[in-house]
A and B are shown apart, each in its own frame.
Chain A
Amino acid sequence: MTNETNSNENHAKNKPPLSVTGSDYAYDKWNEIIQLPSIGPIKAFTKDYNEYFSELLVLTKTLIDLYGSLNGYWIQMNGAYTQALNNVGKKKLPNSDPWDSEQFRMILIDAFEDAFTSLFTSKDFAKAYNEVSNNQIELINCVHRIFEKNLETLRLPTRSELDVILEDINELKKNIRDMRKELESVTIHGRASNSV
């Protein structure tokens, strides 16, 4: 509550002087209205809307990041392709008559293999690949968060809640297996001592 009061005071201090434009006036009024406790439900509704909106903004930013990382990835791939062509150029090409296509094919394969394998074993490529991969995952995460929000609205269990249950079930299964093993061991020892 104190934080909210402080925030309102700060907002009042920081707000730009009222201009003659209608949009500034409307913005100021809207801010004042949604912060009135008596119309809290409206603020709550706006908060929900804002969360969706910010999630969409993150989605857009992630798409831009993904595009950037893919560019970095393709620059390296194109570099390897150019390197392979240079390697072919450096090799002595067959000049036999008739044309020895098999020898030429092997030169091509070797040149491309060397260039791309050296790319794939490089630290830079591994980093670029991981960056693309991370951005792809972030894209999935954005969609997940939006869906989780929808599930909460519908009062349905979210994936995070199901994960907690799955983890508990896995732990329970282990405990049951431990108990079963111990029971078997006790039974075997019991039989052995009885027979003695």
Chain B
Amino acid sequence: MEERAILSRETGTSEYEKVIKRSIDEGPTVQEEVLRKLNKTREILSESEDVQVGMTPNEVLYETRLFRLLHYRPIVNKTARIPILVVYALINKSYILDLQPNKSWIRNLLSQGFDIYLLDWKSPANADKYTSFDDYVNYFIDDSVDILRNRNSVDKITLHGYCMGSSMSVMYTTLHQEKIKNLVTIAPVLDTRKDTTVIANLARYMDIDKLVNSIGNLPSQKLYECYSALKPFKQGVNKYYNLVQNIDNDSFVQNFMRIEKWLYDTPPIAGETARQWIKDVYQRNLLFNNELRLGRKTVNLSKINVPLLNIVAEEDHLVSAECSVPLNEAVSSDDKRLMRFHTGHVGLIASSYSQNNVLPKVGQWLKSRSN
């Protein structure tokens, strides 16, 4: 220390001035660089509301308090005769299917010449706590299917679900098969006995009756708690580290922000629907056992005989592939196909992998059955 002081006196500069000079000459130190990146990350995360999603042009055909029926503007001159109704899940928001132009499931199907409609579920209010799967399937989906049939002058349409929306599409097809030409499911929740995910484990022991009777709707907070237990370090912690590392890469940051917006855009689930979902589907496995009741009707998977395309992700940590695959065995269709892909639940629909590997095959399957 004394030696340094002497040196400083000899050169006529202080230690502090030396550090500043060195920073200017040699560029920022590692610590300064990390600090800069952290500050930039903090600024970007605080501006997350500006993130643009769901940019493919569309019009609202029909709207109620609980759903909107969207029609996407065709982007090619000639579209297939049979329209496609996409049924999204009741978990998070449907814009994951149209997250950004180059990774949009919807836009890709439009570019392949399909006429696309989307059922966009709205957040249920406390007054909607008695809304059940019977309402969603036998009324909301059925009303939308009828609108498409009338609008396109066709008897049948293609029903295409994602995740919980796939399960709802399956329920609908068993009860209203006369209106369905093809059924396309992505990661359907079906044989929950075989589901090895954290969600299935928590759902099996959840006292959903107590929760719904006391609170009404299944609150968003409960869903966040479940999500935070999914790959807590590989995705939960690691993703923020990767963000800081790539904070100067605009494309990476935009992609991250869009996914992040979707992850935390979680509406509650209507009480009676949540009760059926947890109790009947996860705890009693009634959907797979052909014992699920919707209103006065029973859902029987073996009644399905329309062409079926079932798409599953091998690395799905929300719905195990083992839980979705048995659909193909449970239905009576002669024309049925199972497609497995080495990706995750979201990667299946909103990634470059999906654009390059999944959608071309899905489009090919649909094209031969949509005229």
Q: Could you list which residues of chain A lie within 8 angstroms of chain B, going by C-beta atoms?
A: 105, 109-110, 112-113, 116-117, 120-123, 125-127, 129-130, 133-134, 137, 140-141, 144, 163, 166-167, 170, 174, 177
B198 touches A120 (CB 8 A): yes
Q: Is B232 an interface residue (CB 8 A)?
A: yes
B56 CB, min distance to chain A CBs, angstroms: 31
If the complex has contacts A105-B241, A166-B129, are A120 and B233 also in contact, measured as CB distance less than 8 A?
Answer: no
B360 CB, min distance to chain A CBs, angstroms: 33
If the complex has contacts A117-B231, A117-B232, A134-B210, are A109 and B201 also in contact, measured as CB distance less than 8 A?
Answer: no
B206 touches A133 (CB 8 A): yes
B196 touches A121 (CB 8 A): yes
- List the 3 shortest-distance A-B pairs measured between CB atoms, nearest first: A170-B130, A126-B205, A113-B233
Q: How far is the CA of A112 from the CA of B139 in the complex (A)?
A: 46
Q: Could you list which residues of chain B lie within 8 angstroms of chain A, going by C-beta atoms?
A: 127, 129-131, 134-135, 139, 196-198, 201-202, 204-207, 210-211, 214-215, 222, 229, 231-234, 237-238, 241, 295
A113 touches B232 (CB 8 A): yes
* Chain A interface, >50% SS class: helix
Set of chain B residues within 8 Å of A116, measured between Cβ atoms? 229, 232-233
B317 CB, min distance to chain A CBs, angstroms: 9
A133 touches B201 (CB 8 A): no
Given contacts A110-B234, A126-B201, 12 further A-B contacts (CB under 8 A): A109-B238, A117-B232, A120-B232, A121-B201, A126-B205, A130-B205, A130-B207, A141-B214, A166-B127, A166-B130, A170-B135, A174-B135
If the complex has contacts A113-B231, A170-B130, are A121 and B198 also in contact, measured as CB distance less than 8 A?
Answer: yes
Q: Name the residue of chain A whose CB is nearest to the CB of B198.
A: A120
Q: How far is the CA of A137 from the CA of B208 in the complex (A)?
A: 11
B205 touches A174 (CB 8 A): no
Q: How far is the CA of A129 from the CA of B211 in the complex (A)?
A: 13
A109 touches B233 (CB 8 A): yes
A134 touches B207 (CB 8 A): yes
A126 touches B202 (CB 8 A): yes
Q: How far is the CA of A121 from the CA of B232 in the complex (A)?
A: 12
* CB contact between A174 and one of B139, B214, B229, B234 (< 8 Å): that residue: B139
Q: How far is the CA of A125 from the CA of B139 in the complex (A)?
A: 38
B210 touches A167 (CB 8 A): no
B205 touches A127 (CB 8 A): yes
A137 touches B215 (CB 8 A): yes
Q: How far is the CA of A140 from the CA of B215 in the complex (A)?
A: 8
Set of chain B residues within 8 Å of A133, measured between Cβ atoms? 206-207, 211, 222
Q: How far is the CA of A144 from the CA of B295 in the complex (A)?
A: 30
Q: How far is the CA of A105 from the CA of B207 in the complex (A)?
A: 38
B312 CB, min distance to chain A CBs, angstroms: 20
